[in-house]
Structure 1
Amino acid sequence: MNDIQWESLMKDLKTKLPVNEELKDNLRQSFVNKRSKQQHHYRKSLISIAALILCLVLLSTLWPNDKAVPKAQAASLHFFNSFSLMEQLGKENSSGMAEYKGTIYLPMKNRGLYAYDKKGLYKLEAGNINFVRVSPSGDELVYVKDGSLYIYEISSKTSRTLLKSAASQEMLETPSWSEDGSRILYVIKKTSDGVSSKTEDGSDNSTGQISEINVKKGTIKEMTTGSYPSYISGHNAIIFENNNKIIRRSLVDGKESVLDSGQYPSVSNDGAYIAYIKMQGEPALQDIWVADSDFKTSKQVSHNMLVDAWDSDTGEPIEGKQQPRYTFEEPVWSSDSRQLFVYKVFHTNVVWKKLMQFEVSETIAPPEAIVAGSIQALIYRDEDYAHSFFSYDPGYLKGTSPRQVGYKIIKSGQQNGKEFVDADTYLSYANPFYQIVTTRYWVSKGESGYLIDGMEELNNQVVSASSESVNMSTNDEAPQPIFALKDIPQETNWVNDKIFNIVYQESKGTVFFTLNRQKGNQMRLVLLKYEVGSKQFSEIATLGEVEDSGLMIMDSEQKYVAVEVQIKGKEDTIVYDLDRHKMSMLSEEILGEKAMAVHTRFWNDGKLTFYAEMEGRDGFFQFNPESKK
């Protein structure tokens, strides 16, 4: 190794070795206090220790650990937009969210800071909170409340002030933890009225003073000018935005370099990737990009498009003018760097946003997952996302009455050299109606993975109730009666009123249905089934004094049903275990904040995804009936 190579290696090691700022400060102070005759001894010791550390670093560099897993380049990653547990049916009311090991932390303006997982929504702190980040250990949160910084300790459920804004016309924003949790970057912005400089759609083109605070000591160091700063783990550098440029700054020598144009840079926790929002093209469109932390490669994640423009003042479409379908803001990585969250902002007659979640993978999704994803998008009522699985414009797919409520992948294979996936899609709605549509999806593999090239309906069955009977129609043929309503078994002193819901299980030829029974002013909902082959009725359970029922769905293994009901004016959902004959009320299963209404979405692998209206938003949760054993 010649002198030039050695010097280059030392420079590279210097930039990559993590600096413990607190230790450095302590050592500096201890040196000042020591007598001069001891300094020579310490100097020799430090030289020896430095030499040892350098040898160890060189060894680990030249002979890397066999257990080390090399990171894939950003250009080779694949991003799948998946419906997460925070998918909003209505207007998203959070901003600056964060995630740690499956728990989502949601700041909600003028409401507070909430923790959100598969089981519930929990209020941690009240107030006007708009941004949060989780410490590397997951033990603490730093959040912005009314323009000041606070620390929330999760174990003790207590908050303390980290740094107050110095004046009424100053805001502290977008804090970010260092790799060891000892320091926090933040931005100081001057405002004219003491409020955030963000516009209604969440964009923020202003810059401020980026500073760093030592969490324990409270000492502050000014660094540079910009916004949205983050440390790059393992690189002794930070990333930030300034004047629509993504900039990297060395913490060793303060040197800054422009990496790309863009906004909202966000570094993955492992320091491997940077997500950001980039505008390009003519007309200019915003999209999500992900690059290696050294920007050696990059990849466009989203693909925006033009749509008819809206007048923000009148709330009316502008004839002959177009605008981007959406803009993006505040991407953030999950704690394991395997998911990427971002806010998608829509600009129609009103400005509203939704929180998206991308799954990050080094392999492409198989054809079955693509077809399943397209149907799930329709179950979640997201026409725009459903179209992203197609190589062409499939037209309107989302059903309303009836609507998609479930699916099952039947098989996949090849025909005449073309790949296909067959799937059943289940549709239903408030009326006693159930439809099974069997579709063949033709798929092909492109540069970004599989897409659907075409659809072919193979079979169509409808089971519905009329005033006299329950009927079945196949492939649009005339309906044929399955059983007459008068043949449904009666209960002493009770009158059979009407059928609310129907589910048909084709594999076993069984019709499940709910029936309203009345006795004077009393009413109750009963779950029954009818075996088409044996022509036998069976009463399964009484589900309670239910005033109305809007929907019933069943898992693919026919072990559970979920029934939307109205009891004493409140909308709720009952899950019934058909094997163990046990009933659960989902509003009672949600932890934390009280649910105002509970509705189903769909069954997936024996778990029910459902949503509840609470704290001004729709929270998605999962219920596993097996856990009730």
Structure 2
Amino acid sequence: MFGKHPELDELGRQIEALREEIPVNRGLKARLQNEFPPQKNSTRRRPVLAFGLVLASMAALLIWWSVADPGGDSAGTVLAADLKVTNQVSMIDIFSGSFGPPVIGNQNLYLPVADQGTFAMPLEADNMADFKKITGKEITFSALSHNGKTAAYVNSRGIYLYDLKTKKTQTLIEGNDSDLYYFEPSWCGDDQSLLITRRQIEFKDHGFEEKSLDIYSINRDGTTLRKLCSGSYASYIPDSQDIVFTRAGNIMIRTAAGEEMAVDQGRFPAPSPDGLYIAYVKMNGEEKELSAAATLRTDLSDVYICSVKDFSDKRKLTANYPFRHTDEEQWLEELNPDHGQQSLVFSGMYSFYNPVWGTDSGTLYVLKGGHDEKTSLRVTRINLSPQTLMAEDTIAHWLQASINRDDDFARSLMKNPSGFLTISNPHPVAYSIIGSGAEKGRTYVDAQITTAYNADGYYSLGKTRFYLVKDKEGYKIEGEMSLEDGFEVLGREDGVYIRDKGQAPELLLKVDGLTPSGGDNMRRLSSLAYSPEKELLLYTIQEPDSFTVHAHDFKENREVFRQTIKEGEAAVMDISFNGRQDCAAIRYFGDSQMTVKLYDVSKKTFVQSPFLSNAQKVFWAGENLWVEKAVAGGNVQVRSLYTP
């Protein structure tokens, strides 16, 4: 091939070297061979030109293949820009203390809690599983080996490896706890070495300055420490020796050959398990002139993903929006022109940190903080798919996000979002999707939404029709309308009343022996719920140190259940039915903690549900129960889905 045409030799050698790297679709090759049998050679008048065209075609094919099929499977590769956010759920709320990003194993999510240790919870929903402490307070995981057997953790002295089975620790490398530190461990693909960050500082008269910030590789036995480059937050891209890292506010990739490429501005890069994508956090700033002497600037952080093979193939996953702490028009009016050029800065409602992939490229976990210290830090799970949400799923996820106070995701599902979406009281306790269709060419979804007041005789069931419009990202809510068949149930001094929408209250059930609130003889109606489908009323009578749950069946015209709760100074909070109206959750305070009991409508009794024994909050999503539980000494609240 080489030698006859020197001007083509170099390109020819490159093509020959790259041939072996082209992934071959064997089935396609065989089919093409059958469909296009070999042809006899024909005489060529311009062999040099013909050969050049072949080489050019092969080069074009290589370029196309590398872009279209970075993972070697063209049928399964999805552009980052084509991935859709199909759900976003804040799984963990962190109220106080110091916490690192979650660490993902094959079956568990591990949460490092400073001064307490590492906690584990299952990645998949499990009614019997719980949030459990698995290490002492000195061991807080930073990275887990791919086989799930060894965790790397960091303290001020250095980096250590912890064996999850034997509970033994070995030293990987140590600094001096003064001016030399090692941190940010990340495992290589075969778990035999790690990438780490080395930081050297120099003390000055006032503070210190950073002398170096470098990335090293080290064997897991602590040998062969080797500097790779300057930077930090490094990790290997799966199925390669390339690394992704940060340097001077940029996301970088360094190949095994030492070539470096800038991906984008940002921090916290995380390669997906299949090596196709990089997730990271990026700050976007926009500036608008309000007057000759004033500007408005917004600085919003969001989570992005991009393709490893094509950095321009990217998309924003989150929908941060400005925290408008000041009215900009009023601020502009009150400006003193003598003070010169001034700027009003709005940061985001949220700040994002440390995206971490799940077990595949369809799930991403990220830390989400609020705009002030009063707002809890959250571990939020983002689900990705090339498929868009169906209309009914869009409404279900919007309701879920609104109740969970994931306002950014809820707003992303609306065509024209505005203001805050969440309401504290009366608060939603259940929702279910009850129908969908089209009305004058507009797609709609009907939902049944139940609300209640805490520790009060109020229960409301309403039906809402949501109208949706579809774009390339999926369905968006463009409007809603309240349907006519809603009702309220009210506890009064003489019994329980029901009020249909727009009508006067009517007595539903007379209750004798009630007394006003307060005093040693208090006996008042408290939380209640009514199912028109089952013709069943659940109501509670609150007394000073206890409450009694009553179930009245109107079909049988009698009371079918009664039980008094005496657990410390027990006080009922709310009651709610699931979508089928065959199970009810009674949330109450007793024995110095919140808890939940389940009432089985058909069995006419409470059913055992140990998982709910310390549930702080619950709400029904159709037939499933979202449960919030306090753990880690009350500093952490975990949200999970429970199926009765």
TM bucket normalised to smaller: 0.7 to 0.9
SS of the residue corresponding to residue 241 of structure 1 reads strand
| TM-aligned CA deviation for residue 273 of structure 1 | 0.7
Deviation at 1:542, TM superposition (A): 4.7
State which of 61, 71, 81 in structure 2 corresponds to 1:75: 81
CA distance in 1 between counterparts of 2:269 and 2:86 reads 20
- Is 1:512 the counterpart of 2:538? The answer is yes
Counterpart contact for 1:244–1:262, Cα < 8 Å? yes
**Could you say if the C-alpha distance between residues 286 and 67 of structure 1 is closer, same or farther in structure 2, counting changes exceeding 3 Å?**
closer
CA contact 2:464–2:483 (8 Å) conserved in 1: yes
Match of 1:425 among 424, 449, 462: 449
Q: Is it true that 1:307 corresponds to 2:323 in the alignment?
A: yes
**Structure 1 CA distance for aligned equivalents of residues 439 and 475 of structure 2:** 17
Residue 84 of structure 1: how far off its partner (Å): 4.4
Q: Structure 1 pair 372/102, CA: closer, same or farther in 2 (3 Å)?
A: farther
CA contact (8 A) 2:143 2:152 kept: yes
Structure 2 CA distance for partners of 1:230 and 1:463, relative to 1, 3 Å: same
Cα offset for 1:369?
Answer: 1.3
Secondary structure at the residue paired with 1:306? coil
Q: TM-score, normalised by structure 2?
A: 0.76
- In the TM superposition, what is the alpha-carbon distance from 1:179 to its structure 2 partner? 1.3
Instruction: Give the conservation status (yes or no) of the 8 Å contact 2:249–2:267.
Output: yes
The residue type equivalent to 2:594 in the other structure is E
Q: Distance in 2 between matches of 1:65 and 1:333?
A: 18
Q: Which of 181, 187, 207 is the aligned partner of 2:191? A: 181
- Equivalent residue number for residue 85 of structure 1: 91
Q: Distance in 1 between matches of 2:213 and 2:258?
A: 18
Q: Secondary structure at the match of 1:136?
A: coil
Is this contact kept in 2: 1:239–1:247, CA < 8 A? yes
Q: Are positions 1:276 and 2:276 aligned together?
A: no
Deviation at 1:529, TM superposition (A): 2.2
Q: Measure the CA separation in 2 of the matches of 1:532 and 1:402.
A: 27
Q: CA deviation at 1:91?
A: 5.3
**Which whole-Å CA distance do the structure 2 matches of 1:92 and 1:354 have between them?**
13
**Aligned partner of 1:226: which letter?**
G
In structure 2, give the amino acid aligned to 1:403: H
* Counterpart in the other structure of 1:210: 215
* 1:515-551 alpha-carbon deviations (Å, 9 max, x no partner): 3479xxxx65433222345543322545555621111
Does the alignment pair 1:561 with 2:581? no
- The DSSP-based 3-state class of the residue aligned with 2:512 is helix
Q: CA deviation at 1:7?
A: 2.9
What's 2:426 paired with?
402
Structure 1 residue 265: Cα displacement:
0.8
The structure 1 residue matched to 2:227, chosen from 211, 222, 236, is 222
C-alpha separation in 2, matches of 1:145 and 1:475: 61
- Give the superposition deviation at 1:105: 1.0
Aligned to 2:467: 442
Which of 99, 105, 113 is equivalent to 1:100? 105
Amino acid paired to 2:281: I
Equivalent of 1:246, from 234, 246, 251? 251
* Structure 1 residues not aligned, in runs of 5+: 17-60, 198-204, 311-317, 489-494
Q: Distance in 2 between matches of 1:153 and 1:406?
A: 43
**Is the aligned partner of 1:468 residue 2:503?**
no
The answer on 1:482 being equivalent to 2:505 is no
Q: Which moved more, 1:171-180 or 1:275-284?
A: 275-284
What is the Cα deviation at residue 328 of structure 1?
1.9
Q: Does 1:613 align with 2:635?
A: no
Matched AA of 2:592 = G
Kept in 1: contact 2:522–2:542 (CA 8 A): yes
For residues 255 and 206 of structure 1, the distance between their equivalents in structure 2, rounded to whole angstroms, comes to 24
Distance 1:423 1:221 in 2: 60
Distance 1:207 1:358, change over 3 A: farther
CA shift at 1:130, angstroms? 6.3
Question: After the TM superposition, which of the residue ranges 577-586 and 289-298 deviates more from structure 2?
Answer: 577-586
Aligned residues: 546
Tell me if structure 2 keeps the 8 A contact 1:147–1:173.
no
In the alignment, which of 17, 21, 34 is matched to residue 10 of structure 1?
Answer: 17
Matches within 5 A, 1:58-457: 70-86=76-92, 88=93, 90=95, 93-117=98-122, 119-127=129-137, 132-191=142-201, 208-216=213-221, 218-251=223-256, 253-283=257-287, 284-296=299-311, 297-309=313-325, 321-325=344-348, 326-348=350-372, 353-430=377-454, 431-457=456-482
Say which SS state the counterpart of residue 286 (structure 2) adopts: coil
Give the Cα separation in 2 of the matches to 1:83 and 1:425: 19
Give the counterpart of 1:602 among 619, 627, 630: 619
Residues 64, 344 of structure 1: CA spacing in aligned structure 2 closer, same or farther, 3 A cutoff? Answer: closer
Partner Cα separation in structure 2 for residue 232 and residue 382 of structure 1: 31
Task: Please report how far the alpha carbon of residue 334 of structure 1 lies from its aligned counterpart in structure 2 after TM superposition.
Answer: 0.7
Q: Distance in 1 between matches of 2:560 and 2:604?
A: 14
Cα distance change on mapping 1:383 and 1:360 into 2, 3 Å: closer
Q: SS of the counterpart of 1:377?
A: helix
Change (3 A) 1:425 1:471: same
Equivalent position of 1:491 in the other structure = none
8 A contact 2:187–2:235 mirrored in 1? yes
Counterparts of 2:165 and 2:605, CA distance in 1: 35
Supply the distance in 1 between the matched residues of 2:12 and 2:541 (Cα, whole angstroms): 82
Which structure has the larger Rg over C-alpha atoms? 2
Gaps of 5+ in 2: 3-8, 24-65, 288-298, 327-333, 336-342, 515-520
Structure-2 separation of matches of 1:350 and 1:428: 26
Secondary structure (helix, strand or coil) at the match of 2:101 reads coil
- Cα distance in 2 for residues equivalent to 1:236 and 1:355: 30
1:215 is displaced (CA, Å) by 1.1
Q: Secondary structure, in 3 states, of the residue corresponding to 1:374?
A: helix
Please state how far the C-alpha of 1:155 moved relative to its aligned partner: 2.5
Please tell me whether the aligned partners of residues 272 and 292 of structure 1 are also in contact (alpha carbons under 8 angstroms): yes
Once the 2 structures are TM-superposed, how far is the Cα of residue 241 of structure 1 from its aligned partner?
0.8
The amino acid of 2:578's aligned partner reads D
Q: Deviation per CA, 1:337-380, whole angstroms, max 9, x where unpaired?
A: 22111122333366753222110111011111111112112222
Q: Which amino acid aligns with 2:597?
A: I
Post-superposition shift, 1:487? 9.2
Partner of 1:314: none
8 Å contact 2:542–2:572 — kept in the other structure?
Answer: no
Paired with 1:6 and 1:581, the residues of 2 have a C-alpha distance of 81
- AA aligned to 1:527 is V
Q: Secondary structure at the match of 1:442?
A: strand
Check 1:216–1:476 CA distance in 2 against 1; reply closer, same or farther (3 A cut): same
